[in-house]
Chains A and B, each alone.
Chain A
């Protein structure tokens, strides 16, 4: 198995793919949005419950590849309890990491477990998989109407 592939499919990613956290519909969500990746047909629905400007709960539903499922799962664990401003900052850092140059330094103290997706930047076609749930969440909290697409 190649090093790049091991780098992409880290154990933490495989674990979150096998046992996604917070994969459930939320009945008392204050915001939600649909995301769709037409390239591979992946669909995700993200639910958020806001209390003031704090994310009290966040969950997702849908089917996708290992990268998109694990990304959605880890996103929910990373953002629960964060303020909207903190969430946007994490999103920006996450996005910069997966679209960045391979080998670029990663602010791990800010990203925590999300740094596991660093390997994605080696595989440009997988960036959409890693960011689908994030774009969908952003649409939900920005109260964008309609469906989000990675295209």
Chain B
């Protein structure tokens, strides 16, 4: 009798070959790249797609009647279809290309929130937001007299959500799906459900979720979902705002210029439909093509195996770092992505980062653009090792070995 096949393990050595930069060395040591939450490395498929676009199809989109313009338009709109399919949006018109998560959130702040906000209204965010999901709201609050309210977090870095925070004055609940500073995976679907039950629209910052989770915006039920191309193994300069079509259709433009108009006269200009209404000027065409190539690449991976591999990396790093004396892990949520933020007694994170770098280990040090999180845990800064699926258990061990060098200098 044939036995049921067990799931094959994630073949990390095979996928590493797809990322040329990972073969590199720094300071004569093999590169151990553990700064994936800042930006991810790019597979060859993305590099080749960018190169091919510029060599073979480069032209402006939605303009010329010539062959190249049609080819570039097909590439660009094809990338939009790939994004729609990857995040399971209902309609391609719900995919707006932006420069990144930050611009996507600013777009919603300007075009969705700003016209609706009145004095005394509230925007709800959480205590673990990146600055990009705090400052745009503060700006519109300042202009309108609306107030920013914050969901507190517990000592493990988990939300202390209370439905009372959703008041009759709440006009939007904007929250991070996966925390860049703590690794916490928030119960996005449940949070959206609670907000919707009160008629509160939701924006989910998915910048750190997209590299680790399969996201289905319709299952989540959110109104807006924002992410960056460069964190999902695509190029910098391109990002996505998913917006529910009914909302996008009602929103005024974000920026004025070419592409976003239907008819311009000096008396009156009428807007193009979404998503083009929000894509003023020549977009990052090659960036979109590169992002499409990244999503194509990701679709070839076994995501259940990928997730198990990442969780094994997290467990290995967490276990080894917890055993180090004088090291404190910040962010110990039950549900975490593969990221470990930590502080060490008697050593400033900047010195940790410097010594690790000399060992070839790249980590982020600082406040991670999440100063309220640093304040909450009463640390001025931390070190953060963030993993991607192409990292190996041996690299997690290399991090631990490099930390022993830190202790040599700072006993």
A interface, CB within 8 angstroms of B: 1-2, 4-5, 8-9, 14, 18, 39-43, 63-67, 69, 123, 126, 129
Is B239 in contact with chain A by the CB < 8 A criterion?
no
B265 to chain A, nearest CB (A): 45
| Complex: chain A residue closest to B366, CB-CB | A40
A41 near B351 with CB under 8 A, answer: no
Map CB proximity to A onto B385-406 as digits: 1 under 8 Å, 0 otherwise. 0000000000000000000010
Map CB proximity to A onto B335-351 as digits: 1 under 8 Å, 0 otherwise. 00000000000111111
Interface of A is mostly: mixed
Q: A39-B366, A41-B374, A65-B350 are in contact. Are A2 and B27 (CB under 8 A)?
A: yes
Q: List 5 A-B contacts (CB under 8 A).
A: A8-B354, A40-B365, A41-B381, A42-B348, A42-B350
Q: A4-B358, A66-B351 are in contact. Are A41 and B409 (CB under 8 A)?
A: no
A64 near B348 with CB under 8 A, answer: yes
Q: Contact check: which of B365, B371, B410 meets A14 at CB < 8 Å?
A: B410
Q: How far is the CA of A7 from the CA of B371 in the complex (A)?
A: 32
A65 near B409 with CB under 8 A, answer: no
Top 7 A-B pairs, shortest CB-CB distance? A65-B348, A65-B350, A41-B380, A41-B381, A40-B350, A66-B351, A2-B358
Q: Which residues of B contact A39 (CB under 8 A)?
A: 366
A5 near B381 with CB under 8 A, answer: no
Q: Which of B27, B347, B348, B410 has the most CB of A within 10 A?
A: B348
Is B118 in contact with chain A by the CB < 8 A criterion?
no
Is B355 in contact with chain A by the CB < 8 A criterion?
yes
Q: How far is the CA of A104 from the CA of B409 in the complex (A)?
A: 26
Q: Range of interface residues on chain B?
A: 20 to 34
19 other contacts beyond A65-B348, A126-B354, with CB at 8 A cut-off?
A: A1-B409, A2-B27, A4-B358, A5-B358, A5-B409, A9-B409, A40-B348, A40-B365, A41-B366, A41-B367, A41-B381, A64-B348, A65-B349, A65-B351, A66-B410, A67-B350, A69-B348, A123-B354, A129-B350
B interface, CB within 8 angstroms of A: 27, 346-351, 354-355, 358, 365-367, 371, 374, 380-381, 405, 408-410
A71 to chain B, nearest CB (A): 13
Q: Which residues of A contact B410 (CB under 8 A)?
A: 14, 66
| Complex: chain A residue closest to B29, CB-CB | A2
Q: How far is the CA of A9 from the CA of B406 in the complex (A)?
A: 11
Q: Which residues of A contact B365 (CB under 8 A)?
A: 40
Q: Which residues of B contact A40 (CB under 8 A)?
A: 348-350, 365-366, 381
Q: Which residues of A contact B367 (CB under 8 A)?
A: 41
Q: Which residues of A contact B366 (CB under 8 A)?
A: 39-41
B343 to chain A, nearest CB (A): 12
Q: How far is the CA of A14 from the CA of B381 in the complex (A)?
A: 20
| Complex: chain B residue closest to A5, CB-CB | B358
A5 near B351 with CB under 8 A, answer: no
Q: Which residues of B contact A69 (CB under 8 A)?
A: 348
A119 to chain B, nearest CB (A): 11
Q: How far is the CA of A129 from the CA of B349 in the complex (A)?
A: 13
Q: A39-B366, A41-B374, A67-B351 are in contact. Are A14 and B358 (CB under 8 A)?
A: no
B380 near A42 with CB under 8 A, answer: yes
Q: Which residues of B contact A9 (CB under 8 A)?
A: 351, 409
A143 to chain B, nearest CB (A): 28
B380 near A63 with CB under 8 A, answer: yes
B348 near A66 with CB under 8 A, answer: yes
Q: Which residues of A contact B350 (CB under 8 A)?
A: 40, 42, 64-65, 67, 126, 129
Q: Which residues of B contact A43 (CB under 8 A)?
A: 380
Q: Contact check: which of A1, A66, A67 meets B408 at CB < 8 Å?
A: A1
Q: How far is the CA of A18 from the CA of B345 in the complex (A)?
A: 12
Q: Which residues of A contact B358 (CB under 8 A)?
A: 1-2, 4-5
Q: How far is the CA of A40 from the CA of B380 in the complex (A)?
A: 8
